[in-house]
Structure 1
């Protein structure tokens, strides 16, 4: 954008609410983009930037915020406040949890004293006591927060910039056979709400958080379609409802705007798994089961990725070996010669 007076853009978020983004250059020539829930707050922020630029043209250079006094705790609090209007509710909950870890570990340290060595010590302990995957998730949140601090002008450089993520094991893929799924559903039938959670996950592949936040207004039983709005990727998607599940949802009592609400059945689910003879099985594995069954039934990987809400094929390639046609179709493709057209002279060497 041109370096003029700046502007305010109105943005419609995935949940239908409005956000107002200030897009302007500050007195130091640095581009600033910040979102607000309230237009009055956005206008006040833009007016402040314009006032500082006016002072700079008069030769009065406004002072930057004293970086040495800003702690990591204060920076993360500001980042989470910004994220409320920029990230989905489900993702925001995960960010807040991981930010609290960094606040507990290094919250009192000023940003100017936040060194690569201090971060590595904490990450190494996290990787050793939890897992490499967990350490990478916590590092990602801190890196995002400190990138924002650089953008806001309260940090010169991100100490996380050159920290490499830990190597992670291949993603776990555990799925049920149809008879195992039926056994699990029978055991879950003692608790109707738990049964519906499991049925929705098996029948639609939705994440647990997506099922918790599912609204009746996003369920079209006439067309047999569910609209998932508050997704991990912040992109809405549409999922077809299987016939049996659709009939089950027609009979389900409507108590409030949400279909089910919070999942409070972890112990009941684990007990049902044990009674069904399933070991080392998690609720998220129902989503793997959904994807695996789709691939086994001949649904192409691109469609499975769209149904699951993945932006790329990388996450669904783990299911590719389940497709009987997947490698068979590739057998004769890309072969431009006939191996019978040239006669072999002589005997093969030993």
Structure 2
């Protein structure tokens, strides 16, 4: 067995580690015989493995230690996904599962990230948390903390999806970044008297639309897309579809109707005749936008302008003021999280009316004593 040999150059002694076999010959200088011997042993172990000799030569010539050669070679054999490929694959996936608006938002955010990064061909493994933080921080400073948090949510969702399909490594660099502090803003909720003033000024379908918003607490597009097949007047319920759930899948929920709303929709059904849609624009098609509708009515009524989401908050608050249990309000608004429901309720103590129940335990114990 060949052992390391001494070599003296310019008055300095080195130990030469050498490995030779057929078409393979490599050597390296070391300060000690022990280091040279260990290097020879590790190279011989590599040659007995499955890594091609040409790759071992190449990686050793790049200055890697024999132990590092195996790890680097294995990584080279693993197909890498570029940042551009990751973004494209995610957008292709969500295109069929989210609304057109949500898709445009995700497309815009991913494009801005790739343009900012400047190297869309870089493997996803090279994206660090520090880089993700710098990108989000740039928008926190130039736009707002809330904008940065929105970007963090969308980019984090894209990375989580890719982790599920083993395209991107853990941990998620965007979600490791802490959320940016910001003050939560609420949609303006009109007082009940202002809402009634606006309703009194409206007529026909406009009035029916406003009352349907109030009684259902629906989202704007949910009513725009409402069709008569989703209305069950006999059972007093209607079906609303939403994509405002995790994953963006379209889901349906049945919502109960009051007698007043049933009457409103019976009149609306007489107006629309045989139309498929419940609410129609002047061309006989479903509404896409009513941006000026409420603003015009609010101006005529002389009240502070409010939007459709303000009516949704008014519905939740009206129920809460009558001591309706929070879980019932949550079910009516179709929120997955009770915390989201509580955010809709303004100026109403959400737990205090029920704390008297806790007094029962002390009262009973006092009586028992």
Distance 1:332 1:203, change over 3 A: closer
Deviations 1:258-290 (A, max 9, x none): 323333220232222233233352321110011
Could you tell me which of 251, 262, 277 is aligned with 1:258?
Answer: 277
Equivalent-residue separation in structure 2 for 1:140 and 1:161 (angstroms):
8
Could you tell me which of 243, 246, 250 is aligned with 2:262?
Answer: 246
CA contact (8 A) 2:237 2:256 kept: yes
What residue in structure 2 maps to residue 96 of structure 1? 104
Equivalent-residue separation in structure 2 for 1:63 and 1:216 (angstroms):
57
The structure where helix makes up a greater share of residues is 2
What residue in structure 2 maps to residue 225 of structure 1? 237
Structure 1 gap ranges (5+): 1-61, 342-350
Distance 1:122 1:200, change over 3 A: farther
Distance 1:208 1:125, change over 3 A: farther
Equivalent-residue separation in structure 2 for 1:329 and 1:182 (angstroms):
30
Equivalent-residue separation in structure 1 for 2:358 and 2:102 (angstroms):
44
How far 1:313 moved relative to its partner?
A: 1.8
Could you tell me which of 314, 318, 322 is aligned with 2:348?
Answer: 322
Higher Rg of the two aligned structures: 2
Equivalent-residue separation in structure 2 for 1:255 and 1:76 (angstroms):
44
RMSD: 3.1
Equivalent-residue separation in structure 2 for 1:321 and 1:334 (angstroms):
24
How far 1:311 moved relative to its partner?
A: 1.9
TM-score by length of structure 2 reads 0.63
TM-score by length of structure 1 reads 0.66
Deviations 1:290-338 (A, max 9, x none): 11111112321110000001123212234385269x5244146257557
CA contact (8 A) 1:295 1:320 kept: no
What residue in structure 1 maps to residue 253 of structure 2? 237
What does 1:232-311 align with in structure 2 at a 5 Å threshold? 232-233=244-245, 235-252=251-268, 253-254=272-273, 256-260=275-279, 261-279=286-304, 281-311=306-336
What residue in structure 2 maps to residue 126 of structure 1? 139
Structure 2 gap ranges (5+): 1-75, 280-285
How far 1:95 moved relative to its partner?
A: 4.2
CA contact (8 A) 2:133 2:174 kept: no
Distance 1:248 1:280, change over 3 A: closer
CA contact (8 A) 1:305 1:316 kept: yes
How far 1:142 moved relative to its partner?
A: 0.9
Equivalent-residue separation in structure 1 for 2:273 and 2:86 (angstroms):
43
How many residue pairs match? The answer is 270
How far 1:213 moved relative to its partner?
A: 2.3
